Amino acid sequence: MPLCDDIKNIALFATLTDQQCKSLAASCHASSCPKGTLLFSEGSEAAGIYIMLSGRVKIFRAAPDGREAVLHVFGPGEPLGEVAVFQGGKYPASAECVETGKALFLPRKALREAISKDPGLAFNMLAALSSRLRAFVAKVETLTLMETPQRLAAYLLLASEEQKNENTDVVHLDVSKSLLAGILGTARETLSRCLGRMVEQGSIRLEGRKVFILDRAFLEELAKGTENL
Amino acid sequence: MPLCDDIKNIALFATLTDQQCKSLAASCHASSCPKGTLLFSEGSEAAGIYIMLSGRVKIFRAAPDGREAVLHVFGPGEPLGEVAVFQGGKYPASAECVETGKALFLPRKALREAISKDPGLAFNMLAALSSRLRAFVAKVETLTLMETPQRLAAYLLLASEEQKNENTDVVHLDVSKSLLAGILGTARETLSRCLGRMVEQGSIRLEGRKVFILDRAFLEELAKGTENL
DNA sequence: CGAGCCGTTGATATCACTCAAACTACGTGG
DNA sequence: CCACGTAGTTTGAGTGATATCAACGGCTCG
């Protein structure tokens, strides 16, 4: 069972025994997701959760006029759609693949059974939701009290934290600039202008999707609101 | 034990047996919270969760310049601070009492033990966090794609839904207008102006903290973005 | 080669924040 | 009973930032 190995590599299921993994593997299935695939849409009945094995998904809410609010971008190992399994029964947002990959689907019944049998899994799930909540807290904070340049600076610094495997000051944007604009809650044009001003001001250098941080201190001041662009 | 009765009335603990309630009651304690009390502040080490028995608390993040982003306002029966119990160990935001009342404190260890013993409680907790996440999804959506008048209209309609015990079209604001401005992610002045325009336009009537909805259809159109103020 | 997506730049208008001031309601203490 | 302080609220005027509309160049992919 190749699925079994996939499951063991998911942080959420790290505490499970081989036996439990097999049992889970029996009720779930993997499918390939070309870019553009809609995994589920807001308001639709929730059949279960998805976990990306590869590729990338954006979670968003769409307005009638076509604009959308990006809530998260999830990569491999991250579960999506759990909220609907535990409350309400319907997905609160839509999920669309933005980078071709594979997704694992796990029916809600199987997940609930696994949780009720294993308190460890319950705690992992609680921790996952909690960390999601933390992300939202940060998002609401930036949306409410920061303006676009500050949000952008904060994003770049955070991304460089996460990518500190390479100890240089290079951040590789793992999303398109359009999507990044969505993540920051602004328009493509505004993001473009902000980046332009940062380059002009000398705090960063741009090279495609690579961002070279030239003046980290300045970005930090900017994120704190001490400085202006 | 009066605490035991209090615990049974909390939705989160509805599934617990009398025995389990007693055990929980033994490890928690209630305290009075005058308006202005800071229950905890962001970044501080989390000792456990609080559950309001009466009164009201606002959860917020503060910026260095004194402005703040209001994340939630919780009333009786709602737990706060759970995120830190399951992940990270530190509170992600601050909690301040905005209406004098009483709060129950439950140490994290006691909560974790209770959850590991009772899958039902684990599911209740997962449901509570999930519904919190739904609230955040809605909040991020309004912050990202709506402007203040639309957010206000959406808030009024939602509040009138929740207060449909009285079948009239009267919404009683349970928070001060300043706090409401914080909840909507805007400035006091802007909120004041928006309300003024609504009154002028004829869709609502104001009387202290009471809002009379005169033209519900208009507010609905406004919230959808179809109409303007 | 054309279609479509991505990214940039410019011009314009509008919204909302900031600063500033007055006005209410409420409770306290003289 | 009134003067006073505080907290809450409203209004005005000015300014800055961002969304929107529009046009253009680059890129990939069929």
Supply the pLDDT for residue A2: 67
| Dihedrals phi, psi of B38, to nearest 5 degrees | -95, 110
B228 — pLDDT class (breaks 50, 70, 90): confident
CB nearest B116 (choices: A119, A134, A141): A119
Residue B42 makes CB contacts below 8 A (sequence gap 6+) with B61, B62, B90, B91, B92, B93, B94
Strand, helix or coil for residue A146: coil
Is A143's CB within 8 Å of B144's CB?
A: yes
Supply the pLDDT for residue B61: 94
On chain B, the residues whose CB falls within 8 A of the CB of A122 are 115-116, 119, 122, 126
Work out how many CB contacts closer than 8 A connect A with B.
142
Q: From A184, which residue of chain B is nearest by alpha-carbon distance?
A: B144
Looking at the complex, report in whole angstroms how far the Cα of residue A17 sits from the nearest Cα belonging to chain B.
17
Mean pLDDT score of chain B: 91
Interface test mutation site (partner A, options B80, B144, B227, max chain A beta carbons within 10 A): B144
Interface test mutation site (partner B, options A73, A74, A145, max chain B beta carbons within 10 A): A145
Encoded tokens for B215: 């033209």
Encoded tokens for B100: 């004098």
Handedness of CA B111, B112, B115, B121 (dihedral sign): positive
Supply the pLDDT for residue B38: 92
Supply the pLDDT for residue B2: 67
* Cβ contact B8 with chain C strand, < 7 A: no
Across the strands, what pairs with A52? Answer: A103
Convert B46-64 to b/e letters by CB count within 10 Å (16 or more is b): bbbbbbbbebbbbbbbbee
Burial status of residue A229 (CB atoms within 10 A of its CB: 0-12, 13-18, 19 or more): middle
CB A23, CB A114: distance < 8 Å: yes
Per-residue pLDDT tens, chain A, 229 aa: give them: 567 788 888 999 988 888 888 888 889 989 999 999 999 999 999 999 999 999 999 999 998 888 899 999 999 999 999 999 999 899 999 999 999 999 999 999 999 999 998 999 999 999 999 999 999 999 999 999 999 999 999 999 999 988 877 667 899 998 999 999 999 999 999 999 999 999 999 999 999 899 999 999 999 999 987 777 7
Residue numbers in B 160-219, CB below 7 Å of strand D: 176-179, 188-189, 191-193, 195-196, 206, 209
Helix, strand, coil in percent for chain A, rounding step 5: 45, 25, 30
Give the distance, in angstroms, between residue B17 CA and nucleotide D8 C1'. 46
B166 — pLDDT class (breaks 50, 70, 90): low
Q: From B141, which residue of chain A is nearest by alpha-carbon distance?
A: A69
* Cβ contact A189 with chain D strand, < 7 A: yes
- Comparison of pLDDT for A29 and B2, the residue scoring more: A29
Length reported for chain B: 229
Is A87's CB within 8 Å of B224's CB?
A: no
- Comparison of pLDDT for B21 and B225, the residue scoring more: B21
> Cα–Cα distance between A2 and B11 in angstroms, integer?
42
Task: Summarize pLDDT for B92-151 with one digit per residue, the tens.
Answer: 999 999 988 999 999 999 999 999 989 999 999 999 999 999 999 999 999 999 999 999
Supply the pLDDT for residue A15: 86
Is B185's CB within 8 Å of A144's CB?
A: yes
Looking at the complex, report in whole angstroms how far the Cα of residue B218 sits from the nearest Cα belonging to chain A.
17
Is A140's CB within 8 Å of B139's CB?
A: yes
The closest alpha carbon to B173, from B186, B165, B162, B189, belongs to B162
Mean pLDDT confidence for B7-31: 88
With an 8 Å Cβ cutoff, the interface of chain B facing chain A consists of: 61, 63-65, 67-69, 71, 82-88, 92-93, 112, 115-116, 119, 122-123, 125-127, 129-134, 136-141, 143-145, 185, 224-225
Give the distance, in angstroms, between residue A216 CA and nucleotide C7 C1'. 25
Looking at the complex, report in whole angstroms how far the Cα of residue B191 sits from the nearest Cα belonging to chain A.
15
CB nearest B130 (choices: A67, A119, A129): A129
* Cβ contact A131 with chain C strand, < 7 A: no
> Cα–Cα distance between A200 and A185 in angstroms, integer?
23
Find and list the nucleotides of strand C having atoms within 7 Å of a protein beta carbon. 5-11, 15-20
B1 — pLDDT class (breaks 50, 70, 90): low
